[in-house]
Every structure is written in structure tokens, then in C-alpha cells.
Amino acid sequence: MKNKSFFALALVFLSFAFYGFSQKNVSVSIYDDIYELIDQAQMKGICSIINSAKPYTRSQISKAINEIYDSGYELSEKEAKILAYYVEKLRANDEMKNNVFHARVKNDNPDLPLSFNYNFGFEMEGSLGIYNKSSYKSYLFELVPNFTFEGDLTKYFSYNVFAFLDATKADMVDMGDYFIGYNWFGSSKYTADELSKYFNGELTDASLIAKYDRLHGEYARRIQKKLLTSYLPYRYNKRWDGQVYFISNLSASGLEGWPMELSVGGGIKGEINFSALDDRFLLKFGRVDREWAGMDNGSSLVLNAQADPFFGLETDIKLFKWLRYSFMVGILEYANQDWTARNSWPQDVGTTDDSYFFQNAFSINMIELDFKYLHLDFGSTVVWPKRFELGYMFPLTNYVVYQNSIGDNDNLALFGDIKLHKAGLGQVWASVYLDEVTAMLKRNIIESTRAMYSYQAGIKFPIPKMSWASFALRYTKVEPYCYTHHSINYAPWYIHYIYENYTNAGSCIGYYMPPNSDELLADFRFNVDPSLSFSISYQFSRHGADFGSQQVPGSNLYSEMSNVNRDELKKYFLHDGAYNWIHALSFGGKLKIYDRHCPVEIMGNIGLVLSYYTVIDDDNYNRDVYGNNGNCKNAGWGTSYHIANSEEYPTTIGAVVTLGCRFFFK
């Protein structure tokens, strides 16, 4: 130990600090930097693996920090100071006098602790994108006052409510529209034979196709592609819940799906958590941000940190040191899609309200096995239209078997992760998410479009001689139509068109990259001292265009695979249409000024972005079925592609600058 006196003082401090913890069963936000520190401690072998279902409770995190101190690992002075910062941050603030910013009330009975805590916070953030293409220049800002109410209801129950308002505006660039598919059912003046001929490509005359789309929109669905350029690609996570009100129209009709103009929104997150048997049994009910089955922070293919929160009932059981079981059932939220899909929904149902088509629940179960050098987890998920479906609410259900028993109506998936780790060296992992299970067993998974899945491989290791520093590198591939589902209107209890894609509030529940894409991400993080940290990241991504004259089927979360000729559809990544290539290099930093009376956190990031599109020759882009679901028959792995740099598919170079700060944060 480089500074034994400091270490000894820290241990004395800890013995009092942890004793003063309250709200021990309240979750710590998955965006808190403590998760990265615990992850690095696990790689060093000085902290045992907690579980793959986040967020963790304060009790779980405090035990992990105690493990670090008790491990005998020789912390440097900087490492110990950084760790002590989080201890101080988590400690109950008994010295704070009640005022408009803070309030704390508790009883003095250790056998029946009751408490109420109030905290006011304020956040603001602004982001500016500057590009060589003038129409791409845009900005975003958010002003977020928030209020936290939390406390204890006995030793076993804790509660938390986080409410906020959000004054915001975020520009979008209109890229064009995207043909997402055909409904399987609906009314039409055409006979079934005529429709079959159309779907099979016999009606290829452009005027007939245009006339068909114009007259029979209930079969053809389009959404508008809009691009957020004021933030780094695929990094923005909206704060507000559901919808916002345009300031220009503060009425019920002013509810909109995106703050294209000055708007006000808000949201509420909350939870009631129960813990027993020294945290071996956890029961959580609430609406919080989560991440499950992620081998690194923000990497999950199943329930990613960028997914919007939703209400769920969770159970986490640690049966043995090496065996854990987790289960959750929740209700997904619809997104107001009018800004992208105003003319896309079926007209024959008498409504175009998005909530009519998004009425889904979500279930997930997961088994984890942890050994000295090996971590394994596997489980299943299902998105199902809300109904009194007891099997999906029962923790021990095998969703594959159960769905076969009640009818193939729901969006089922399987997932698994394997991670090898060696204390002090780091970890290497592989993850897979299987969307269309039966299709995977019968077809060429490389070329068959019905083989819908995503996978990831990664490596992460701590950097020696630096205070809590790490480097991570991962590659992720999301196949076409993954996280989507075919359109149906035959689900039990529903007689109309239903969307069952793997989304909540318009965002993917799984990985943040859209279908038909891949990503290479390198991330370096290090702490200078408790008050200052930095990060450097490089992201290289490619994504099938979901707009324009060479749009690629299955490249959007709202894509729908037609039931016609779907078994013959092929995919040729990069060789079957237009693809967006992005190189993004970013540098970020965070300054923390921790004061028990007024903590302040200042964040900044600057990113350089190069974006361009590759296309194939028009002669090779030949789809007999208009726009979507048709095989690009003239394309294959040998089809060459070239950079387009056209008005439709431009090459852009830009810089994105983001600044933010938080006051009185929790």
C-alpha cells in the first residue's frame, strides 16, 4: 500500500459511513459512475460479481465497496480517494439542515427505521452539431428541474420517487420516407389472387404500383426518416416520458412525439423495493432505468441501458454463490409516432392513435452461473399484447414451450452470454440474441433474411499504474429485421392491427443500433482524481439505409416482414443497397465538485463525425416487390459498392459539442 495511513483512515471512515446508510434498498441509477468502478474492481478480482440485472441497490453497492477494502488489494492513494468519494456520496446527509433544497426526517428506532428524504436538483445540457452540409446544422438543449422523494419503510422496504420537468428543443433533419411493409390483413377492392400476383412481383409497372399504394394505403405502410444531428450518432437518450407539449399549443391537441419546437415535457420514475436474507432475495416494483445481461456497461443485446424505463415487477434470487435467477414482467409504453408515421397506420380501424396499436407487455427470465474464471447466463424474453396471460406472469415459465401451447401470437426471443475473466488481466465475452428461433434452425443464417439475430464479441481490461482506468473493445452485429415482428391482427383479445416490435416508447429494448447494422466501439476511461475523469471513444458503424431510392429491407425497427415469399428472401450486408458508414471520435470529461450542501457536476464532450453512404449500381438494385420484402435478385456477395456523395445520400463532416451541468444532484 502506497499510503497506509490514508488507508487506515479510510477504513475508520467506512465503518461509520456505511452504518449511516439509509434507503439501503433503493436503486442506484445505472448511469452513475459507480458501476464502471465496480466493473473495474471485478476485473481486478477484488470484488465479487453481483449479478447481470441492474440497477443495483445501495446495499449491494456498499457491500461491493466493503469487499474492495477487505480484499487486501493495495490501493494507491488516488484509488482510495476516488473510492472514498463514492462512500461519501452514498452516505446519509444527517448534517444537512432542512430547507427548500433538502429535507430529511427519520425516527430513532433501529428495529423499525422510518424515514423521508427530499432533494431538489437541477440539470441543463446543450449540444450543437456543425457540418459542412448546412441543412445538417442543428442544436439541442434541455433544462431539467427535478425532485427526489425517498426513504425507508422498515428494514426491508425502501421507496423512491423521482419527478422532473423538461424544457427542451431538438432539431431533426428530414431524410425522406421508408416503406416498412404490408399488413397481412385488411380490406381491399382487389381479390386475393390479384394481391398474390402483386406480391409475387407480376405487377411491376411503376404507374400501377403507385396507383396501388395511393388507393390502398391500408396495405402499404411508410414512415418518415428523421435524423438527430445535434448529438453523436446513436448516443442520445431522451429524458422526457412519452410526449411533450409544444409551447405554442399548451392544450391536449399540443401533445407531440418530438420537441421539434420549444416544448415542455417531464416524467416520473419510482420504485418500492424489498430485500431479505441479506440481499439474497430481492423484490422490486417500479419504473426505473435498467440493463440486463450486459457484459459491459451499455452493451446489452437484451435490455440495454438506452432503453426507456417502464413499469415492471422484478424478482432476483441468489440460490447459491454461483447460481442466481432473475425474472421480470412489465408493461411497455407506446410512443407518439405522428411526427414520423402520421399516414402509416391502417385507416379501416377508425383511429390513427398510436396507443391503439401498441398495447404490449414484456417478460424476461434469466439464469446466471458464476465461477472463478467463467460467467454464463441465458434466458428468454417475450413481447405480448396485454391480456390476462398467466404463463407470461409466472416466473418459472419456459416461454418457447408455453407459446407453442397457446398459439404463435407473440414476439419471442432467446439470449445467452459467456464471459471468461482472469483477475488482474480482464475479460473477454460473446453474446447472442435470437429473434426468429425456428428460422435459425432451418436456414442459412448468413444469407437467409428470416434468420433474425444479433451477436457481440468484446474484450475489456484494467490499465495498470492508472487510477481506476480501463479499455474496452467490442464488435456488435444486428441482422435485418432483428428486434422487429411481422404485423398481425389475430392476437387473442384483439381484432385489429397490432405492433409487437421489440420497443418501448419508440426506442429499442435491446441494443441501440437499428436492425441491419454493425458497430465497432473502442472506449478508454480513466480517473485523474476524485473530482476529474476523462474518456476517449471511437465508434465505427454501418447501417442499411431506411430511406431513399436504395433503401434496404429490414433496416428499421418498424420494418415488417411480409408473409409472402419470406422464406426466399436473402440479405447481403453492404452489397444489396445503400449503407451509411460513420466514423465518430469523441473526447469527454467530467468535473465533480462534491460539497455536502451543494454538489456540482460539469460535463463536456466534443466529437468529430465523418458520415458517408455506399450504394450499388442501379441495375443491380432490382426488387420485384416494390420497396420492401423483395429479394434484390441482381445482388450478391460479389456485387461491388461505391461512395454515393449525392443529394440523397450525402457525405458529411461535422463536429458535435455537448456541455452540461448538474446542481444538488443525487
pLDDT band at 498 (very low <50, low <70, confident <90, very high): confident
Question: Coil, helix or strand for 296?
Answer: coil
For position 504, what pLDDT does the model report? 95
Mean pLDDT confidence for 80-109: 82
Do residues 64 and 50 make contact, with C-beta atoms less than 8 angstroms apart? Answer: yes
The answer on pLDDT for 143 being more than 80 is yes
pLDDT band at 320 (very low <50, low <70, confident <90, very high): very high
For position 665, what pLDDT does the model report? 64
Do residues 624 and 204 make contact, with C-beta atoms less than 8 angstroms apart? Answer: yes
Do residues 639 and 576 make contact, with C-beta atoms less than 8 angstroms apart? Answer: yes
For position 209, what pLDDT does the model report? 46
The C-alpha angle with vertex 660 and arms to 655 and 666, in degrees rounded to 5, equals 145
For position 8, what pLDDT does the model report? 42
Pick from 33, 590, 502: nearest CA to 297: 33
pLDDT band at 313 (very low <50, low <70, confident <90, very high): very high
CA distances from 106 to 64, 100, 152, 524 (A): 26, 18, 9, 42
For position 342, what pLDDT does the model report? 64
For position 558, what pLDDT does the model report? 87
Pick from 108, 18, 96, 95: nearest CA to 58: 18
What is d(CA 530, CA 34) in angstroms, rounded to the nearest whole number?
Answer: 12
pLDDT band at 330 (very low <50, low <70, confident <90, very high): very high
For position 352, what pLDDT does the model report? 57
Question: Coil, helix or strand for 230?
Answer: coil
The answer on pLDDT for 6 being more than 50 is no
Pick from 260, 67, 128: nearest CA to 607: 128
Residue with cell 440481499: 279
Pick from 145, 142, 143: nearest CA to 100: 145
The answer on pLDDT for 378 being more than 70 is yes
Q: What is the pTM of this model?
A: 0.89
Report how far Cα 562 is from the mean position of its chain's Cα atoms: 27
Mean pLDDT confidence for 138-155: 94
For position 565, what pLDDT does the model report? 67
Mean pLDDT confidence for 266-294: 95
Mean pLDDT confidence for 145-149: 94
The answer on pLDDT for 482 being more than 80 is yes
Q: Which residue intervals of 364-466 are DSSP H helices?
A: 390-393, 399-406, 437-442
Question: What's the whole-number average pLDDT of the chain?
Answer: 85
The answer on pLDDT for 306 being more than 90 is yes
447 backbone φψ class: left, alpha, beta (φ>0; ψ -120 to 50): alpha
pLDDT in tens, 157-180: 999 999 999 999 999 999 988 877
**Which range is least confidently modeled, 125-134, 305-314, 396-405?**
396-405
In degrees and rounded to multiples of 5, residue 217 shows phi and psi of: -65, -15
pLDDT in tens, 235-275: 999 999 988 999 998 887 778 889 999 999 999 999 999 99
Which span out of 12-26, 482-496, 505-519 was modeled with the highest average pLDDT? 505-519
Pick from 30, 4, 20: nearest CA to 62: 20
In a 10 Å sphere around its CB, with 0-12 CB exposed, 13-18 middle and 19+ buried, how is residue 8 labelled? exposed
The C-alpha angle with vertex 208 and arms to 203 and 212, in degrees rounded to 5, equals 100
**Which range is least confidently modeled, 109-113, 185-189, 232-236, 598-602?**
185-189
